[in-house]
Chains A and B, each alone.
Chain A
C-alpha cells in the first residue's frame, strides 16, 4: 500500500512539475515588429527570452524547478551590470537607473541620471570572479564580451546571470530601439516599455511620412578625410536609413551596413555643392573646423554649404550622448536630421545632438 501511495504521489508531483515547466505551449508570444534578433514566450509562471540561438528562462520564483539547459534569471532585476551605453536609455525610460551597479568604462556614461559613485567599473572581457563578487542578478553584454563558448559554459556552471544583447545586429533604427522591450522584460515592465516604444515608432513614422511629401531632397555628405580617404557610413547603416527618412539624399550611397572608404579622387569629381555635411569629428566650433580645413587643403575639393557635428552633449571625458541616447531614440534623431535638411519646415525644432559649425 505504501509503495502504491509513493508511486501515486511521485507521479502526481512529476506531472505537476511537468505542467509547470511545459516549454512547448506558451500562453502568449511576443514577436517584435522591427527587431529581428529576439522574441519572448510567456508561460504561466515564467517567460523565456530567445536571443539569436541563446535562450533564457526568466522567473520571479527563485525555486522554480524546471529542468532546462536555459540560463535561469530571477526577475525583476535589482542589481544589473551592463556593457554598452546603448542599454542605458532604456533604464532611464523605464525609471530603473538605480539598479545599475556595474558598467564597462563608466567614463562613457553621459547621462546624469546614473550615480557614478555607486557604479563599479568592470573589465571588457567578463571576469567571472569579479562578476560573482558584484552579486548581480543580471549581466548584459554583447558578442565581443561573450564570443568564447568555453567562457559562456563557465558562466553557466557558476550560475552567473549573463545575457546576450544583439541590438547592434539590427538592421534598422527602430529595430534597435525595440530592444527597450527586451531589457524591460528583465524588470517585468514590458507593458510600460511597449507604450514608450509605440510612442517612438509612431513619432518616427509620422516624421518620415511628413518628409516624404517634401519636394526638395538636399545632398548630404557624411564623414571626413582619414588616412587619405573619405570615410563615410554605408547607405544601409542606421544613419544612411535615417538620412533617407529625413528627406535627404546621401552622397556616395552604397548598399552596405559597413563603413565605406571613398577615394579622394572620386570625391573631387563631385561637381555639385553639398547642402549638408555631417561630420562626426571632435570639432566643436567653426574656428576648429577652419583650422583643420586650412591645414588640409583637400577639403577644398568640395563646396559645402552647411556643416554640422553631433557632439552637442558631451561629458567631461568627451563621451558623446549621440552614442548613448541618440542610438535608442531614433525619433529624436530623425527630428534633428529633418530640421537640418529642411530648416524651413522645422523652424521651432531645438536640435538635440547636432549643432552647426
Chain B
C-alpha cells in the first residue's frame, strides 16, 4: 500500500473510532447506542463518502472534465427530481412499494441525466459547455421540484425538505446490510477496470488504440456511477461537493494520477470529508446545520482555489 494512502486510512480509522465512541451524549460506550445509532452512521459515512468520491472520479475521467461531479453535472439533481416526484406521488401506497419506487426512480433520474450528457459529449461540446448544460439540468430539476412542492401537502413537503438537506444518519440497522451490499456491488467492479480507466485517463482515443472496447467501457462507467449516485440519493438524500472535490484533493495530496493509487485515495478522502461533516454535527448538537451546508463551506472554496490555480484553462 502506498504510504500516503496508509496515512489516509489511519485518519479514516481515527475518525471512525471517534464517532463510534463519542456522540451527542459525550463519551458513552452503551452497547445499544453504538449498535443502533453510531455504527450505521459510521458505516454510511465511510461508504457514501467513498462512493461519491469514486463516482466523481469516474465522471471526471469519462467526461475528461476536471469540474465534472454528480452535483455540478446535474446527476444528483436529476435523481432528486425523480425521487421528489415519487415522494409526492406515492401517497397512500404501502411502505414496501414506496421504498422500492424510491430506489428505481433515483436510478432512473441519474441514468436519464447521464444519457443526456453522453448525447452532448457525442456532439463534441466543449468542457465548459458541458458544465453549463449540467447547471441547466440542475436548474430544470429545481424548477420541476418547485412545481411539485407547490402542489404537495404540508406533510409531504416537510418530508421532502428534510430529505433534501441530506443526512448520513437516516440509514437504520435493518436497512444497513442492503446499503452495504448495494455499495459494494457498485464500487468493487471499478477495481477490475483500473487498467482501462488509466488508459481513459490519457484520452479516449489512446484507450481505443490500446484495444479497449470504448463503447462497452463507457456503458460500464456510466452504469456504475449512476448506480452509486442513486444509492446515495435514496439512502442519504442529495449530498453535494464530496464527488467533485475528493478527486482533486487526492491528486494534490498524492501528486500522482495513476488510478491504482488515486482511486483508493479519493475514496478515503471522500469518507474523511463525510466524517468531518458528521463530527461538526456531533460537536454542535443544538445547531440546525445540515450536512450539505457544512460540505458547501468546505467544497466551494476548494473549487474556487482549483479554478484559480488552473486559470490558464480555456474554453
Contact = CB atoms under 8 A, between A and B. Distances in A.
Interface stretch (B25-33, B74-82, B196-204, B305-313): B25-33
B102 to A, nearest CB: 13
A282 B155 contact: yes
A282 B285 contact: no
A268 B174 contact: no
Given A265-B37, A268-B36, A298-B172, A227 B165 contact: yes
B167 A291 contact: no
Given A261-B288, A317-B153, A227 B167 contact: yes
A227 B155 contact: no
A231 B159 CA distance: 11
Contacts of A229: 169
Interface string B58-97: 0000000000000000000000000000000001101100
A323 interface: yes
Contact of A266 (B25, B41, B237): B25
B162 A263 contact: no
B172 A295 contact: yes
Contacts of B237: 227
Interface size class of A (residues with CB under 8 A): 20 to 34
Contacts of A318: 91-92, 153
A281 to B, nearest CB: 7
Interface in B76-125: 91-92, 94-95
A269 B30 CA distance: 10
A298 B37 contact: yes
A265 B155 contact: no
A268 B37 contact: yes
B1 interface: no
The SS class assigned to the B binding surface is loop
Contacts of A344: none
A295 B95 contact: yes
A228 B169 contact: yes
Interface string A221-249: 00000111101000000000000000000
**Most chain B Cβ neighbours within 10 Å, of A264, A288, A295, A300:** A264
Interface in B6-38: 23-25, 28, 30, 32-33, 36-37
A105 B151 CA distance: 8
Interface in A76-128: 105, 108, 124
A62 interface: no
Contacts of B92: 318
A291 B95 contact: yes
Nearest to B287: A261
A300 B173 CA distance: 12
Given A228-B167, A263-B24, A323-B154, A282 B162 contact: no
B163 A227 contact: yes
A157 B30 CA distance: 66
A235 B23 CA distance: 24
B150 interface: yes
A281 B23 contact: no
7 smallest A-B Cβ distances: which pairs?
A228-B169, A263-B24, A265-B24, A227-B167, A265-B25, A265-B23, A228-B170
Given A292-B95, A298-B173, 17 more contacts: A124-B150, A226-B158, A227-B163, A229-B169, A264-B169, A268-B25, A268-B32, A268-B36, A268-B37, A281-B155, A294-B174, A295-B175, A298-B37, A300-B36, A318-B91, A318-B153, A323-B154
Interface of B: 23-25, 28, 30, 32-33, 36-37, 41, 91-92, 94-95, 150-151, 153-155, 158-159, 162-163, 165, 167-170, 172-175, 237, 285, 288
